[in-house]
Chains A and B, each alone.
Chain A
Amino acid sequence: MSGSRLRATSVMVRFVTNTTKESKQDLLERLKKLEFDISEDEIFTSLTAARNLVEQQQVRPMLLVDDRALPDFKGIQTSDPNAVVIGLAPEHFHYQILNQAFRLLLDGAPLIAIHKARYYKRKDGLALGPGPFVTALEYATDTKATVVGKPEKTFFLEALRGTGCEPEETVMIGDDCRDDVGGAQNAGMRGILVKTGKYRAADEDKINPAPYLTCESFPHAVDHILQHLL
């Protein structure tokens, strides 16, 4: 309902996510099943951001990403790699593969990190995310990774490409105070924090400047936008 209310206006909409284990196609199908009216070119993921960077830099990446994310790199040359792309891929984070990546990086290959999450929740408890392994490789090679996902400024700016909108004309709605709202505001956008999903009480106090608005949910955020910002 809220999505279609937004669509009824002249507002451009984009759906942005840090997921690294779903290709855009998979994500699209999942959202459509939940009856969201979305098209593929309205989705911008951190995987898309990584692919764009790879194409820009014209490199051939060693892809340490979930198999389910591979479709998003279709058409990219990966043989004789001269770059390393790391996402959430526990099955690749063992010694031999990381050592291979390390040797490439030592030879000057750039390191692209989809994001640097410390850990994530699994059924059996907390599990190491890609962040620690990116840090390991940065230390081993004395280099810095280019991080492409939220809360990086470049992620938000990339997401606006093709919309004809400036950051100042953009509102980001998210449940992660630091990564969604903080990141977006740092890029010059307004951020609305919704109290659903991973939100926990007083999250809004954790960033400076505070969120432009904190509200109950996505429909409430849309209410506010339609009433006050158009």
Chain B
Amino acid sequence: MAAWSERLAGVRGVLLDISGVLYDGGEGGGAAIAGSVEAVARLKRSRLKVRFCTNESQKSRADLVGLLRRLGFDVSEGEVTAPAPAACLILKQRGLRPHLLVHDGVRSEFDQIDTSNPNCVVIADAGEDFSYRNMNKAFQVLMELENPVLFSLGKGRYYKETSGLMLDVGPYMKALEYACGIEAEVVGKPSPEFFKSALQEMGVEAHEAIMIGDDIVGDVGGAQQYGMRALQVRTGKFR
């Protein structure tokens, strides 16, 4: 027990992954993972700062938060760091107009972005919208660009839904990388910029933060690489 309090010394803030930690998505919105609603409540009652750090890119923050609240979680939009808004900032900064290979559910996050005459591609977890046709369109856009730029919202291999494991955006990102001979820029975990902005928003330094996640590479590995501590849960995609 002494060993644990040493290892957790100085933790002032907790970053929580959402899918696979708090709930599993699926039919009817999905299901909360046993005990997670109460665990979040306990964290919020403690002196620790709490922030949600997700790679969710199939739904807008509003929809995601709505769903989580219906499952009983105490969470609000302002407490969530998600990749689509982060991508929008980058696009604006660099004057880029994206062709979006995304699920309709997240399109609203790009409402302020000019998507005419695209000069880059943004790929997210499009789920069922990863048709051959949509993939091919994104591929053709990239091949026509003198300087092909591809942003991927996360690069996870798969995630868990109530019906089973589902291909995530990562494999599709790799498909386009291979087809075009390019490398994507990842927006979201485990990119350092993403952790940096989550910590800034929480007002805590890396060495004072602990990340809880189900993805050993994206959540745990990424957080530890950034100088945080991290906890691996055996729910969600864990095998």
B134: nearest residue on chain A (CB-CB)? A94
| Interface size of B in residues (CB-CB distance below 8 Å) | 29
0 or 1 for each of A86-120: is its CB under 8 Å from B? (1 = yes): 00001101111011001100100000000000110
Are B130 and A94 within 8 A (Cβ)?
yes
Are A132 and B176 within 8 A (Cβ)?
yes
Q: How far, in Å, is B1 (CB) from chain A's closest CB?
A: 36
Are B179 and A132 within 8 A (Cβ)?
yes
- Enumerate B184-220 residues with CB–CB distance to A below 8 Å: none
Are A135 and B132 within 8 A (Cβ)?
no
Q: How far, in Å, is B133 (CB) from chain A's closest CB?
A: 8
Which residues of chain A are near B130, meaning CB under 8 Å?
94-95, 98
The 8 Å CB contact of A119, one of B126, B131, B172, B179, is B179
The 8 Å CB contact of A139, one of B132, B140, B165, B174, is B174
State A223–B135 Cα separation when bound (angstroms): 46
Which residues of chain A are near B131, meaning CB under 8 Å?
94-95
Given the known inter-chain contacts A99-B166, A132-B176, A132-B179, please indicate yes or no for A125 contacting B140, CB distance below 8 A.
yes
Which residues of chain A are near B167, meaning CB under 8 Å?
95, 98-99, 102, 136, 140
A127: nearest residue on chain B (CB-CB)? B136
Are B128 and A95 within 8 A (Cβ)?
yes
| Interface size of A in residues (CB-CB distance below 8 Å) | 29
Are B178 and A135 within 8 A (Cβ)?
yes
Are B175 and A102 within 8 A (Cβ)?
no
Are B132 and A128 within 8 A (Cβ)?
yes
Which residues of chain A are near B179, meaning CB under 8 Å?
118-119, 128-129, 131-132
A118: nearest residue on chain B (CB-CB)? B179
- Enumerate B98-137 residues with CB–CB distance to A below 8 Å: 126-132, 135-136
Which residues of chain A are near B165, meaning CB under 8 Å?
102-103, 106
Which residues of chain B are near A91, meaning CB under 8 Å?
132
Are B170 and A139 within 8 A (Cβ)?
yes
Which residues of chain B are near A103, meaning CB under 8 Å?
164-165
Which residues of chain B are near A192, meaning CB under 8 Å?
none
B176: nearest residue on chain A (CB-CB)? A132
Which residues of chain B are near A102, meaning CB under 8 Å?
158, 165, 167, 171
B143 within 8 A of A: yes
A-B contact pairs, 23 of them (CB 8 A): A94-B131, A95-B127, A95-B131, A99-B166, A102-B158, A102-B167, A106-B165, A118-B178, A118-B179, A119-B139, A119-B179, A126-B140, A126-B143, A129-B179, A131-B178, A132-B174, A132-B175, A132-B178, A136-B174, A137-B171, A139-B157, A139-B171, A140-B157
Residues in A lying within 8 Å of B, measured CB to CB: 90-91, 93-96, 98-99, 102-103, 106, 118-119, 125-129, 131-133, 135-142
Counting from the closest, the 3 A-B pairs by CB-CB distance are: A136-B171, A132-B175, A140-B171
